Amino acid sequence: MSLVEVGRFPPFEADIIVGRLESDGIGAVAFDTGVTSVYGGIGMFASVRVMVDEDDYAAARKIIADPA
């Protein structure tokens, strides 16, 4: 198992994307979420990396691209 980055998002959006991926059966992890607590209010503009297993990359990208 090797994790790959599926995208970088604002913290609130990363949480939503992780939830959406997990609801579709794809394990996902948000990395760099600690930036928001370190930088306080400015952290909301920091990018959070959403990571998935490399075998799930294509499916995850498709889910993220679908706005539904």
At 11, the pLDDT band (50, 70, 90 cuts) reads: confident
Sheet containing 3-9: give its strands across. 3-9, 48-53, 28-31
Q: pLDDT tens digits for 27-52? A: 999 987 665 555 555 545 678 999 99
Integer Cα distance of 48 and 44 in angstroms: 10
Domains of the chain by start residue, with CATH: 3-65 (3.30.70)
Long-range contact pairs involving 23-26 (C-beta distance under 8 Å, separation at least 24):
24/59, 24/63, 26/52, 26/53, 26/56, 26/59, 26/60, 26/63
pLDDT at res. 53: 97
Mean pLDDT of 62-66: 92
